């Protein structure tokens, strides 16, 4: 959630930032008005309550002195009714504000480029030269088929479209990649975690998937549990409602989960292959930092993901997302796009975001600095989407006969 105090104090700049993320001026005005309405309602309610408390305190005194309490009681009864009304009004104001505020995205950082969509993202670096092929490189689904690594039909049979089965070497490669990535991250100081893959709505609100993006989530029937769309949700929310001692920061975690997404709104996109599945595995990085340390940790995470690709000998580029492509919770995001020779293009394989205190305010993640409790900064980044990494390996390491080499670093994992 954005800082409503800041909105009140520095309306010009906050609204300008929100408008860069395409929040309408009307909505921003409404947010401000509702915030002020709540303040007014709260003041009235608390005033009536203070009066009630004060009068109530007279009660034991009166009794001790043997005085008649009936008049006092009448006054209290009258005020009590008023309190009820004022409380109701306060609650309504609060609910109205909340409903709106929870759907307002984070403010982009000042250095995030303006832009309408992904075409306006800004490339900041290229790492490794794409290999030159003496033949026309094939796309991964063709390679997967000839090598017998992926069974698309049977995935659909047991589940639904956009589900696939990995056979034999495909399954082993997936497992090898997960192990390799987790080890790689661990060596860089990230603590390996294994977390629930079903989470409650409070957690999803904390990281920003709810209330706005419910249609993208798989929900269990009759229970407040959703399948995780990313390990970011359980990992970040591990610290909800906590005040972390300063010396424990930064918290650096890595974990692997399956991720489940309905992909609502992407009908027809990437229907072939395993680029866009309802279920995929991902190794994630999540960090919680002091407010003044998140930029440094952000760079560290980007570097970590890039080095991982480098270790796998996969050419890629780093791209800063423009305001139009930035996610709901992110203040800044750098995508890593891997080169896919079969598709002759770069495709997203990792995405590292700094949400600043946006998620921390929702999930109440704080840290202690001296005597003060401050909102932490939370960051998340894929250490790499495993399925897309397999796609990248297939396409970049293919031979003319359709066989596939395995990157050197994975040999000991297979």
Partner RNA sequence: GGACAGAUGGCAGAGCUGGUUGAAUGCACCGGUCUUGAAAACCGGCGAGGGUCAUACCUCCCAGGGUUCGAAUCCCUGUCUGUCCGCCA
**Catalytic residue, candidates 276, 290, 317, 369:** 276
Give the span between the Cα atoms of 390 and 164, in whole angstroms.
13
Q: Is 54 in the site for RNA (CB under 7 A)?
A: yes
What is the smallest separation between the CB atom of 26 and RNA, expressed in angstroms?
A: 24
> Whose Cβ is closer to RNA: residue 79's or residue 146's?
79
232 assigned to active site:
no
> Rounded to an integer, what distance in angstroms lies between the CA atom of residue 313 and that of residue 307?
9
261 is an active site residue: yes
Using CB under 7 A, which of 49, 146, 201, 240 touches RNA?
49
Pick from 59, 161, 192, 292 the residue near RNA by CB under 7 A.
59
* Identity of the residue, 50 or 159, whose beta carbon is nearer to RNA in the bound complex: 50
Nearer to RNA, 46 or 142 (CB): 46
Tell me how far, at minimum, the Cβ of 33 lies from RNA, in Å. Answer: 16
CB-wise, 45 or 280, nearer to RNA? 45
Does 240 sit near RNA (CB under 7 A)? no
Distances (CA, A) of 78 to 49, 156, 186: 12, 67, 64
276 is catalytic: yes
CA distance 167 to 42: 61
Q: Rounded CA gap, 3 and 12, in Å?
A: 14
User: CB of 108 within 8 A of CB of 21?
Assistant: yes
70 counts as catalytic: no
Q: Which long-range contacts (CB under 8 A, 24 or more apart) does 303-306 make?
A: 304/184, 304/185, 304/188, 304/190, 304/381, 304/383, 305/336, 305/350, 305/352, 305/381, 305/382, 305/383, 305/384, 306/127, 306/336
Question: Rounded to the nearest 10 degrees, what angle do helices 25-65 and 70-101 cross at?
Answer: 160
Residue 55 touching RNA (CB under 7 A)? yes
Question: Is 63 a binder of RNA (CB under 7 A)?
Answer: yes
Which tokens hold the place of 177? 């990649």
Site string (4-23) toward RNA, x via CB under 7 A: -x------------------
Q: How many residues bind RNA (CB under 7 A)?
A: 23
Identify the active-site residue in 294, 351, 353, 383: 351
42 belongs to the binding site for RNA (CB under 7 A)? yes
Contact positions with RNA (CB under 7 A) in 64-93: 73, 76-77, 80
Work out whether 373 is an interface residue with RNA (CB under 7 A).
Answer: yes
User: Judged by CB, which is closer to RNA: 41, or 334?
Assistant: 41
Q: Least distance in Å: CB of 387 to RNA?
A: 26
DSSP state of 57: H
Query: Can you tell me the distance from the alpha carbon of 244 to that of 290, in angstroms, rounded to the nearest whole number?
Result: 10
Cis peptide before 171 (omega within 30 of 0): no
Which tokens go with 281? 């595995």
Contact 280, 387 (CB under 8 A): yes
Binding-site ranges for RNA (CB under 7 A):
5, 39, 42, 46-47, 49-50, 52-57, 59-60, 63, 73, 76-77, 80, 243, 366, 373
Please give the positions annotated as active site: 261, 276, 348, 351, 388
């Amino acid at each position: 959630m954005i800082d409503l105090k800041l909105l009140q104090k520095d309306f010009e700049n906050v609204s300008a930032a929100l408008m860069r993320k395409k929040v309408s001026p009307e909505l921003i005005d409404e947010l401000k008005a509702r915030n002020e309405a709540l303040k007014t309602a709260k003041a009235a309610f608390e005033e009536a309550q203070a009066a009630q408390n004060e009068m109530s305190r007279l009660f034991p005194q009166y009794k001790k002195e043997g005085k008649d309490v009936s008049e006092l009681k009448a006054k209290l009864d009258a005020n009590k009714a008023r309190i009820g009304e004022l409380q109701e009004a306060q609650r309504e104001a609060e609910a109205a504000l909340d409903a709106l505020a929870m759907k307002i995205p984070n403010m982009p950082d000042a250095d995030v480029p303006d832009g309408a969509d992904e075409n306006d993202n800004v490339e900041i670096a290229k790492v490794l030269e794409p290999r030159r092929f003496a033949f026309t490189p094939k796309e991964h689904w063709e390679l997967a088929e000839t090598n017998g690594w992926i069974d698309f039909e049977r995935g659909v049979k047991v589940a639904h479209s956009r589900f696939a089965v990995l056979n034999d070497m495909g399954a082993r490669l997936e497992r090898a990649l997960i192990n390799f990535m987790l080890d790689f991250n661990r060596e860089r100081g990230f603590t390996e975690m294994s977390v629930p893959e079903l989470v409650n709505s409070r957690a999803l609100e904390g990281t920003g998937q709810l209330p706005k993006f419910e249609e993208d989530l798989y929900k269990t029937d009759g229970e407040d549990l959703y399948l995780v769309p990313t390990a970011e949700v359980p990992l970040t929310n591990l610290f909800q409602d906590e005040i972390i001692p300063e010396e424990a920061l930064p918290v650096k975690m890595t974990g692997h989960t399956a991720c489940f997404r309905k992909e609502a709104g992407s009908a027809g996109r990437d229907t072939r292959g395993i680029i866009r599945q309802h279920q995929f595995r991902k190794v994630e990085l999540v960090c919680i930092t002091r407010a003044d340390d998140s930029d440094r940790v952000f760079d560290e995470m980007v570097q970590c993901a890039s080095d991982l690709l480098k270790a796998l000998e996969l050419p890629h580029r780093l791209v800063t997302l423009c305001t139009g492509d930035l996610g709901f919770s992110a203040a800044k995001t750098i995508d890593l796009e891997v080169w896919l020779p079969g598709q002759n293009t770069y495709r997203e394989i990792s995405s590292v975001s700094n949400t600043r205190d946006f998620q921390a305010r929702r999930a109440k993640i704080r840290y202690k600095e001296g005597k003060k409790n401050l909102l932490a900064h939370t960051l998340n980044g894929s250490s790499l989407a495993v399925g897309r990494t397999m796609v990248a390996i297939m396409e970049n390491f293919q031979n003319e006969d359709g066989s596939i080499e395995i990157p050197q670093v994975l040999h000991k994992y297979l």
